[in-house]
Amino acid sequence: MPVELYRIDDRLIHGQVVVGWGQPLDLRFIVLVDDEVASSDWEQELYRMGVPPEMDVYFESVESAVRRHAEFAQDGRPGLMLTGDIETMRRLVDGVDAIKRVNLGGVHHRAGRVQRLRYVFLTADEERALRALSARGVSVTAQDVPAARPVPLDDILTGKGDP
């Protein structure tokens, strides 16, 4: 079974991921790809605490996630791979040709970012990175929760995303 969702969300593991997506997709594992978290026992314990016992969490650096991706994709259980920012997802896609869809789930306000959707704020560099992902055949859509309409990248960047 392929990984169900590749998500960018700066809150990493939180309610929308564990419950909002976890329940309808029946997620059984989350791969949190973040170099900082992967090197910190404290950070890992923090995120592990919030995950229900039936769901496994794997903490990977970009390098180890690329190396282990085939293993996760062949796991047989529904899973989600999660990064906290666009640059980390770009690095992941660079190393894994099999990633063809990326979900923008939450990139919140920060200095230098411009609001594109209620839950998506982007810098010019981040917009370029998303366009580059799209140009290489990766479908980029924004969708915070399963019940929401997936917003295509063009609509995100042209301000047509929010009703």
Query: Given the rule CB under 8 A, which residues bind other proteins?
Result: 10-15, 17-19, 42, 46-47, 49-52, 106-110, 118-119
The nearest distance, CB 137 to other proteins, in angstroms, is: 29
Closer residue to other proteins in complex, CB, 13/104: 13
The nearest distance, CB 26 to other proteins, in angstroms, is: 16
Closer residue to other proteins in complex, CB, 57/73: 57
Long-range (24+ apart) CB contacts under 8 A made by 19-26 are 20/144, 20/145, 20/146, 21/80, 21/145, 21/146, 22/52, 22/55, 22/80, 24/146, 25/78, 25/80, 25/146, 26/78
Type of residue found at 131 = R
Closer residue to other proteins in complex, CB, 106/161: 106
The nearest distance, CB 108 to other proteins, in angstroms, is: 3
**Is 47 within 8 Å of 40 (Cβ atoms)?**
no
Residue 140 CB partners (closer than 8 Å, separation 6+): 101, 102, 104, 130, 133, 134, 152, 153, 156
The nearest distance, CB 90 to other proteins, in angstroms, is: 19
Closer residue to other proteins in complex, CB, 13/96: 13
Q: Distance between CA 55 and CA 47 in Å, rounded?
A: 12
The nearest distance, CB 102 to other proteins, in angstroms, is: 19
Closer residue to other proteins in complex, CB, 135/147: 147
